[in-house]
Amino acid sequence: MTPDVFSNLASRLSPTVKTHRVLEAVQFRVGGKAFATLGWPEAGWAVVKLSVRDQMRLVADHDGVTVEPGPRGKSGVTLLWIEDLDEAALADVLVAAWREAYAGARPVRRGGRPRGTSRALLPG
């Protein structure tokens, strides 16, 4: 798997997926919540936030998927060594991460902005 394929798959999950650069990494968000970060903790890696149930399933099912060490890993933060994932495995992981973020995303009100955001803070 390559970073370009990862980015393409993550971006195509929904028209509401937004990207955000954080230092050398690219974060993928839905409804203001990150579901994947490519290039973190370093090049060749990605990190996703999963439900604990999905985390256990995906770690068992796919090489290249591992629980992040420490307390964050116990809450579903999961590391991906992207070279060890084929496209089907990566799609499985990204869909689970997107669902987890989408379920906790801020609802969008009429006018297109998420609840709790000020119009003055939004670009353009």
How many of the other CB atoms lie within 10 Å of CB of 100?
20
- pLDDT tens-digit series, residues 35-79: 999 999 999 999 999 999 999 999 999 989 999 999 999 999 999
120 compared with 6, residue with greater pLDDT: 6
Tokens of 55: 């985390």
Q: Does residue 109 sit in helix, strand or coil?
A: coil
| Cβ neighbourhood burial of 110 (10 Å; 0-12, 13-18, 19+) | exposed
Counting the structural domains of the chain, the total is 1
In a domain, 6, yes or no: yes
Q: Could you tell me the residue range of the domain that residue 7 belongs to?
A: 1-84
In whole angstroms, give the CA distance from residue 122 to residue 12.
Answer: 23
Specify the amino acid at residue 96.
A
In a domain, 74, yes or no: yes
In whole angstroms, give the CA distance from residue 40 to residue 38.
Answer: 6
In a domain, 123, yes or no: no
Answer yes or no: are the C-beta atoms of 20 and 27 closer than 8 Å. yes
pLDDT at res. 94: 94
In a domain, 66, yes or no: yes
pLDDT at res. 111: 53
pLDDT band at 103 (very low <50, low <70, confident <90, very high): confident
pLDDT at res. 108: 54
**CATH of residue 7:** 3.90.1150.30
- pLDDT tens-digit series, residues 77-94: 999 999 999 999 999 999
50 compared with 24, residue with greater pLDDT: 50
In a domain, 92, yes or no: no
In a domain, 32, yes or no: yes
In a domain, 63, yes or no: yes
pLDDT at res. 105: 62
In a domain, 117, yes or no: no
